[in-house]
Structure 1
């Protein structure tokens, strides 16, 4: 019984460790191909718990004026690879508000202002990534 409780507590200690955002210089897909950026469906006020849930890999020179319906207005965190830039739009066909993200980690898009009263959480509808 004590062993089972100890194992459960150890397992709970490691929950969330995989959720930590990858470093910008270590952004690769599952096959080892270098990415330009990665969008994440979930973020958290605690940075070590951001970059959770589903993710969308973006490759160098990807130009997507209309993001797939499953990802439209869904990104809450992102990472842009070293030597790359990600430009996003708030509306499909590269319309609406535009923002350029430089290399690095954006743990919470809710913290990135869009206009006077908005933010970029769940607001990306198109993108262009260059490296």
Structure 2
């Protein structure tokens, strides 16, 4: 039984290695400029299928009180660069609920609690990213 459990645990670890999400310390745009955070439209119960679809980049010290309308309430997963933090709001002009994400990968914003009953999936309307 212990062997089966160990093999299952190893398999789950290897699944995480194939994740679509980029590593935080590798976030750069096409010109090689550092990106503070990358926010994706898709997430998935299986982490290796998260961070899919289109994405929007937040650059260091970028303050966006009104996210472009095509991205309003559309973000489902995100990656924050090393030594950076991303603060998001649930309403435009930095109103509503507020959440700060540190460096790392958030595979599913659906798993991030917002208040008593909500979550952050498809609920970002403003952001501020700092490195």
Query: TM-score range with shorter-chain normalisation?
Result: 0.7 to 0.9
**Could you say what secondary structure the match of 1:57 adopts?**
strand
What is the deviation of 1:22? 0.3
- Structure 2 alignment gaps of length 5 or more: 1-17
Task: Summarize the alignment of residues 26-105 of structure 1 with structure 2, pairs less than 5 Å apart.
Answer: 26-105=26-105
**2:106: which partner in 1?**
106
Deviations 1:84-124 (A, max 9, x none): 00000000000000000000000000000000000000000
Query: How large is the RMSD of aligned CA atoms in angstroms?
Result: 1.4
Query: CA contact under 8 A between 1:86 and 1:130: conserved in structure 2?
Result: yes
Aligned residues: 115
TM-score, normalising length: structure 1: 0.85
- Rounded Cα–Cα distance in structure 2 between residues aligned with 1:52 and 1:103: 19
Work out the CA distance in 2 between the residues paired with 1:89 and 1:32.
Answer: 28
Greater Rg by CA: 1
Report if aligned partners of 1:35, 1:81 keep a CA contact under 8 Å in 2.
yes
CA deviation after TM superposition for structure 1 residue 19, in Å? 6.7
Aligned partners of 1:19 and 1:52 also within 8 Å:
no
* Residue 31 of structure 1: how far off its partner (Å): 1.4
TM-score, normalised to structure 2, is: 0.85
